[in-house]
Amino acid sequence: MIKCVILDDELLAISYLKLLCEQIDEVEVVKAFNDPKIFLKEIDTLDCNLCILDIEMPGMTGLQVAELISGSKKIIFTTAYKEYAAEAFDLNVVDYVRKPIKKERLIQAFEKAKEQISTVQKKTFIEWNTNIGKTIIPTEQIVYIKTSEIDSRDKDITLNDGTIIVLKNLNFKNLLEMLPARDFAQVNKKEIIALSSIKVFTTNEIITTIHTEGENFLKLQIGDTYKNSLMELFGK
C-alpha cells in the first residue's frame, strides 16, 4: 500500500492530483499541503511512505524540500519544466513526472515506488548519520534502542558486542520503518527491543538478555499503548 503526501503551491494542481490518486488501486492520499514550511513541520508525524513534490514553488523549491526528507521518504517530483530532471535524479528520487500529469504516467511512477518501498522493507541494515559519521549497521547486530538522554532527537543503538552508536536526528516512527517488523518491537515511548533479546515477557515488563552493571539484566517497562501489539507478536 502506498500512503502518499502531496506538496504543491497550486490548489487546483492538488485537487487534480488527488483525483488521479483516488482512481489508482492501493494508493491513499494521507494529506496535501500548499506550503513547504508547514509540510516540513508535519511530515514526520504522518503515516506515509511517499511524497509527491512540486518543484517550482515560491520561497522554497521541491528540490530543497527533498534534500531534507530524502533519507526517510521516497519522492516523486512533478513539474512543468524539463530542465530540473538532472537535479531531481541526483537526489535519487523514484520518478520525475512532467505536468500536465496523465493517469497512465502516474501509475508508472507508483509502480516504481512500490518496488523501492518493498526493497527498503526487506533491507537487513540501517544506513544513517551517526556520531561516527554516515554508518551502515546490520540489523541482526542490534539488540536495543533507546532515546538519547543527551538529545531526544537522537537514538542510542546497542549492538550485541556492547558497542553503542548514536543515530543523529531520527524519530522512532522513521526508525521502525527501517527495521524488520518481525524482529523488533517498540516497548514504550523511549525504547525498542530486538525480539531475540527478550528473556522473559509479562504484561507489564520485559526482562532482556542484556547485562547491566553487576549480575543484573536490563528490564523494560511496557507502556500501555504498546501492550496489545506486543501480545500479538507473541501470539497472545
Q: What pTM, to 2 d.p., does this model score? A: 0.54
Q: Would strands 95-98 and 74-79 be described as parallel, antiparallel, or unpaired?
A: parallel
Q: Which three cell numbers stand for residue 152?
A: 531526544
Looking at the predicted structure, is the pLDDT value of residue 215 above 90? no
Query: Is the pLDDT higher at 67 or at 12?
Result: 12
pLDDT of residue 115: 85
C-alpha pair distances (Å), 132 with each of 68, 70, 153, 168, 200: 20, 21, 16, 10, 33
Confidence tier at 178 by pLDDT (50, 70, 90): confident
Looking at the predicted structure, is the pLDDT value of residue 54 above 60? yes
pLDDT of residue 91: 67
133 vs 157: CA distance, rounded Å: 14
Confidence tier at 232 by pLDDT (50, 70, 90): confident
90 vs 81: CA distance, rounded Å: 16
Confidence tier at 182 by pLDDT (50, 70, 90): confident
Looking at the predicted structure, is the pLDDT value of residue 222 above 80? yes
Confidence tier at 127 by pLDDT (50, 70, 90): confident
Looking at the predicted structure, is the pLDDT value of residue 122 above 70? no
155 CA to centre of own chain: 14
Residues 6+ positions from 48 with CB-CB distance below 8 Å: 3, 4, 5, 30, 31, 73
pLDDT of residue 189: 94
Lowest mean pLDDT across 130-144, 155-169, 218-232 = 218-232
Grid-cell match 543523529, residue found: 168
Average pLDDT, the chain: 88
Percent of the chain with pLDDT over 90: 59
- In tens, the pLDDT along 58-110 reads 989 999 999 888 667 889 999 887 776 556 556 668 998 999 999 999 999 99
Check: CB of residue 109 under 8 Å from CB of residue 76: yes
